[in-house]
A and B are shown apart, each in its own frame.
Chain A
């Protein structure tokens, strides 16, 4: 896991983010999140609220978004809980960014199944485009992180970029995805393998073939 540390608490940070408040739309959402929990248990909403705040920061900065300390304090105050408890949550989960990220947060899975299916090549392709692990490219477009298993082992290797998963990658397919994103287009999410829809067996089913079209009772055949 990459080293993570909250962005330093500087006067500039305070000035930029000290005045953070929900937008009208997010204030409504925040109220909904909090109202899902019983009276006195509002603290339980800390995770959706942190995510919401990260998205709002992202919208303001045109990036994936991150959590500056003043924003974390804002949420602590919003939920009336000690700020250290909020920081504990924010630092525990790697999907909360503690430091500024780029427009696209490229999270390459490097866990065993993806590695066996060629995630090293995927990382290499990222390096070739000038990305460096743990930092943001100069044009502010890309932040590269290597992450652990994202649960897409059946369609490995995979990359998560912001909210979208791109699976069955080869360096060429990844390049196509990244080019499209850089050009402001939305590439197809999910598997990039032609003819494959989701995580169904590649090249058609090899077992339970009778089940493809209709339900089939195999029990008599056992």
Chain B
């Protein structure tokens, strides 16, 4: 490990570190534009110049210079100061002075660094260059005159997303960043280039001219659009969530989020349930809370009560519902809306055991029935990293466009019983083999045969558990931890013919078998569940209530409340608490703290942030034979949940990117 001296202080830096990293370790700030920790080194902005001895007597780009033994690095010398001023002056030659009308203003690297390291005036009085706007799809707004050619966006789409669609055309002064023929950037992570862009060249189109960063209240939250549990910041002003930004969490989402997580929030303002509705003579009419509770009490459900949880509810809501159902003397609770009925006795068998961070180290991966790009796009990024390190990937299921080389083995789960030699060979040599079972595989009944492969493929090794299940619902693991499941899935509940069914944001349920039940929808959007309901009790979305979520790797995470729910809508648990009074049962909690205490008493793992321990995988005998065609659960990535379906941005993405409608706007 080399020892270097940074501004007079000697430090030891890790092998392979760059001079820039060494300076950071020494606590020195190095301005930079093109350098980004998660992307390859480009070294083309020249902003990170420092003085290094021994070496040529001129400043050197620290981001691309390896730290070696005995280097003397200066970041505070006159030479460095002048170099930074010079580079900044060059960068600003062609950069427009339009900060007042630029959406990046207030969170712009160029603005900040020009203030900190710039000269304050320019000696350039020629014409500036101007670049035409480039169309990059419904999410990315471009003002390419502002571009300083750092190529972060190019490197992101090539290296992280694995979809080569942004490039730098022409050369020198004429260089322009664009997509091929200005086609829309068409992948699930496209909007991350907005965060990466150090200037205002790529900004958010739906959020254009909405707010300045200093006006926004920032709330730490968890994304519920998929089961990854991405860490996000909800930026809100007044009662409105205006945008979502990723939070850095190397264990979960690194620093990316999917486009859906980022842009579905405008759906929080639309199609909201903000009043109580009751079905009278076949029509839903507005009513009051009192009326609704009376109507529910009048149904006299007694023990005949069931609760079905949707994909986006938090653990607290499900626990409150379960407490209510239990207090009424029933145990009919279920969260797998679409009718899946895999065994839930051993949670390790339905968990992503390898963990997202570790899956990067896998050297052989078998994906069974999952289109990772739509179901867990950030996991797909990790698999891509694994492939770059040499992992082989095989997929059972209909073909989808992978962002890495992968071999498709057919779409029938029966192939698990007779895996081709290529697979068995790859797994035989693998030190860290992994199997990823997706929702499509679970629905096709691959659970048993996949579990059988644990032995055959040697998935469990010392310090390595390669058996993984990827869920698609943010609520799923939490629900399973709370025991929110029946042996036979939702069919069991239908068989019991409950008088009262509480639908907690359950929008994907087939309500046909529940025709005779009183269906009470407790949720936030007027979507499929509300259409089928007899009584609608308006509740809070994920942005409007605190709650815990467990992602598909069993990571317990807490989200805060960003804004208040609109109109009469209440936080879900308060509705369930009031309902308990109406049904004259005791649930044992009167406020949120008590609810949480009761919940963590029943499931202690929910009290601790981080990975829950589910023990070891169940022992299985011979691999059970399974047959069935795999179909992926997500047909339209942009419209998978009621919030996204209500979002105009997501609707536009779906229309343009999935259905290929030409909704391109005229250039502004």
Contact = CB atoms under 8 A, between A and B. Distances in A.
A83 B169 contact: no
A4 interface: yes
Interface string A55-88: 0000000000000010000000000011111011
B662 to A, nearest CB: 14
Given A9-B181, A83-B180, A4 B164 contact: no
A1 interface: yes
Interface string B142-167: 00000000000000000000001111
A85 B181 contact: no
A146 to B, nearest CB: 15
A91 B181 contact: no
B170 A69 contact: no
A84 B166 contact: yes
B169 A91 contact: yes
Contacts of B164: 81-82, 84-85
A1 B167 contact: no
Nearest to A72: B180
Interface string A71-112: 000000000011111011001100000000000000000000
A84 B167 contact: yes
Nearest to A8: B181
Contacts of B172: 1
B288 interface: no
Contacts of B174: 1, 3-4
Given A9-B181, A69-B181, A85 B170 contact: no
Interface string B173-190: 010000111000000000
Interface in A1-48: 1, 3-4, 9
A88 B166 CA distance: 10
A92 B181 contact: no
Nearest to B165: A84
B181 A88 contact: no
Contacts of B171: 1, 91-92
Contacts of A83: 180
Most A CB atoms within 10 A — which of B164, B169, B174? B169
A82 B170 contact: no
Contact of B170 (A9, A81, A84, A91): A91
A131 B369 CA distance: 63
B170 A92 contact: yes
A88 B165 contact: no
A119 B552 CA distance: 70
Contacts of B181: 9, 69
A38 B227 CA distance: 42
Nearest to A91: B169
Most A CB atoms within 10 A — which of B165, B166, B180? B180
Contacts of A69: 181
Interface of B: 164-172, 174, 179-181
Given A4-B170, A82-B165, A91-B171, 13 more contacts: A1-B171, A1-B174, A82-B164, A82-B167, A82-B180, A84-B164, A84-B166, A84-B167, A87-B167, A87-B180, A88-B169, A91-B169, A92-B171
25 contacts: A1-B172, A1-B174, A3-B174, A4-B170, A4-B174, A9-B181, A69-B181, A82-B164, A82-B165, A82-B180, A83-B180, A84-B166, A84-B167, A84-B179, A84-B180, A85-B164, A87-B169, A87-B180, A88-B168, A88-B169, A91-B169, A91-B171, A92-B169, A92-B170, A92-B171
Interface of A: 1, 3-4, 9, 69, 81-85, 87-88, 91-92
